[in-house]
Amino acid sequence: MKKLTAIFTLIMLMLTLAGFAGSNSINTEVDYVVCAGKSLQLDATAAGVETYLWLHSNETTPVVTIHTENLTPGIYSYTVIAGNAFGCETEATIHVKVTAIEANTDEFSAVVYPNPTSGNLNYDLISLPEPMYSISLYNTSGTLVLNRNMHSNYDFATGSIDLSSVNPGIYFIHFSGTDFRSVQKVILQ
Q: Report the CATH number at residue 68.
A: 2.60.40.10
State which residues form the domain around 88.
21-99
- On the question of pLDDT at 18 being above 50, the answer is no
Q: Looking at the structure, tell me whether residues 60 and 118 fall in a common domain.
A: no
- Tally of domains within the chain: 2
Report the mean per-residue pLDDT for the chain.
77
- pLDDT at position 159, please? 85
- Give yes or no for residue 19 having a pLDDT over 80: no
- Whichever domain contains 148, its CATH number is 2.60.40.1930
Q: What string of H, E and C letters represents the secondary structure of the chain? A: CHHHHHHHHHHHHHHHHCCCCCCCCCCCCCCEEEECCCEEEEECCCCCCCEEEECCCCCCCCEEEEECCCCCCEEEEEEEEEECCCCCEEEEEEEEEEECCCCCCCCCEEEEECCCECCEEEEEEECCCCCEEEEEEEECCCCEEEEEEEECCCCEEEEEEECCCCCCEEEEEEEECCCCEEEEEEEEC
Does 26 score more than 60 pLDDT?
Answer: no
| Range in 4-18, 39-53, 134-148, 158-172 the model is least confident about | 4-18
Give the per-residue pLDDT at 166. 92
- Which of 99, 121, 150 marks a domain boundary? 99
Q: Count of CB atoms within 10 A of residue 76's CB?
A: 16
Question: pTM for the full model?
Answer: 0.47
Cis peptide bond upstream of 116, omega within 30: yes
Cα distance between residue 170 and residue 51, in whole Å: 50
In this structure, the answer to whether residues 166 and 115 fall within a common structural domain is yes
Same structural domain for residues 66 and 25? yes
Lowest pLDDT segment from 44-53, 71-80, 179-188: 71-80
Q: Which of 71, 99, 127 is the last residue of a domain?
A: 99
Please work out, in degrees rounded to the nearest 5, the angle formed at the alpha carbon of residue 24 by the alpha carbons of 20 and 26. Answer: 65
Has residue 16 been placed in a domain?
no
Same domain as 85, residue 27: yes
User: Looking at the structure, do residues 90 and 149 belong to the same domain, yes or no?
Assistant: no
Residue 124 lies in a domain: yes
Whether the pLDDT of residue 15 is over 70: the answer is no
> Nearest 10 degrees: CA dihedral of 14, 19, 23, 29?
-170
- Are 62 and 44 in contact, with CB atoms under 8 Å apart? yes
Domain boundary among 99, 120, 147: 99
Q: How confident is the model at residue 13 (pLDDT cuts 50, 70, 90)?
A: very low
Give the other-Cβ count within 10 Å of 20's Cβ.
Answer: 23
